[in-house]
Amino acid sequence: MAASAISQERNIEEAEERVIKELKEINKPFIVLLNCMYPTAGAAQEMAETLSRRHSVPVLPVNCLEVDEEQIREILAKILFEFPVKEIAVDLPRWLATLSGDHWLRTQVFEIIKDTAEKITHIREVSNLVDAVMECEYVDGAQIAKVGLGKGSARVAVNISQDLFYRILAETTGLDICGEQDLMGCMMELAKIQKEYMRVKDALDEVEATGYGIVMPTIEELKAILARKRAKEEAVAYRMKEGTRSRETVSDPQYIEAVQAHLREKLKAKYDAKVGVIGRMSDGQLTQMKRQVRKEEELTEEDVRGYVCQINDFLHHN
């Protein structure tokens, strides 16, 4: 009887191996159900694990006589994960794709993804890609974001260390960037430089094409020229009012500075008086007053900020 049992077990194993081999050859999705009386017992779980390693397929121990709806759903889910994968999308930080093709970080991350993805044939193996990417020292995290079982697709999200972003940015640009504050300062400075360059860009193109170029003044510069002219005229009038008629003893910058200081004092006195009666004004008048203050070119930024803050404080508390 012992020999008969051994022979029967061998026949089962041979049939098992033959069927599994045939299903693999025709590339059909399948799992192995290990029918046993006590599927949660240690022996059943150990046998399922052994068979899974031997045949490289999922093995699920079940009691076919007592299988319920929940177990049927689990079986169907495992079968769906055995379908072939047709597409794997990997979400990487966009800045990584802007690096040159031979950059060390881009090369390392892309090679890991490529080498692992080439070995993936089934949906259930997508987790192998996550594990492989997580082994990279520069990756903060990776996870399966979405699985389309009906389409055989999967999406994997990969996160790169934020500190590494600033390190790469500093290496690539040659700028000293260690965090958000440094980045903002550099961007503002570069924007200013770009603005200045755009003024002369067309002229430089003309120089290369024809040998000469013209830089046209901006509207702001034209306004500044007119403002200086007006300031000079008002300075002359101011000096004549004070009883001094000589114009030769004072240079243009001195005229402008004197007029600007005089106008600033006049404007400050005007707005100081208005702030003194701020309680009598309506909200609309206060809003209009803020607009006027911001338009006053003779006032300093500190002056404008002070008046606007006083108006806002009054509006907030009333």
Instruction: Name the pLDDT band for 252 (thresholds 50, 70, 90).
Output: low
The domain over range 87-169 is classified in CATH as 3.10.20: yes
Q: What is the pLDDT of residues 111-170, one digit of tens each?
A: 999 999 888 888 888 989 999 999 988 898 899 999 888 788 899 999 988 888 888 888
- Distance separating alpha carbons of residues 21 and 27, to the nearest angstrom: 10
CB distance 96 to 164 below 8 Å: no
What's the pLDDT score for residue 110? 92
Q: What is the pLDDT of residue 11?
A: 60
Q: Which range has the top average pLDDT, 83-87, 130-134, 189-193, 236-240? A: 130-134
What pLDDT does 235 receive?
63
Listed range (57-66, 85-94, 122-131, 304-313) with the worst mean pLDDT: 304-313
**Strands of the chain, DSSP E:** 32-35, 59-62, 87-91, 139-148, 153-160
Percent of the chain at pLDDT exceeding 90: 9
Instruction: Tell me the average pLDDT across 276-283.
Output: 76
d(CA 255, CA 266): 17
pLDDT at 246 over 60: no
The Cα–Cα gap between 118 and 120 comes to 6
CA 111, chain centre distance (Å): 23
Q: Looking at residue 114, what is its pLDDT?
A: 92
Q: Is the pLDDT of residue 75 over 80?
A: yes
> Which two three-digit tokens encode residue 257?
């500075």
Q: Which residue has the higher pLDDT, 239 or 66?
A: 66
Q: Is the pLDDT assigned to residue 241 strictly greater than 80?
A: no
Encode pLDDT of 169-222 as tens digits: 888 888 888 887 787 888 888 888 888 888 778 777 777 766 666 666 666 766
Q: Are 75 and 102 in contact (CB under 8 A)?
A: no
What's the mean pLDDT in 38-59?
88
Under the banding of pLDDT at 50, 70 and 90, the label for residue 264 is confident
Q: Contact 174/160 with Cβ under 8 angstroms?
A: no
Confidence of residue 5 (pLDDT cuts 50, 70, 90): very low
**What number of other Cβ atoms are within 10 A of residue 160's Cβ?**
19
**DSSP assignment string, 273-312:** HHHHTGGGS-HHHHHHHHHHHHH-TTS-HHHHHHHHHHHH
Confidence of residue 254 (pLDDT cuts 50, 70, 90): low
pLDDT for 10-47, tens place per residue?
666 777 788 888 888 887 788 888 888 888 899 889 98
**Residue 259 — very low, low, confident or very high, per pLDDT cuts 50/70/90?**
low
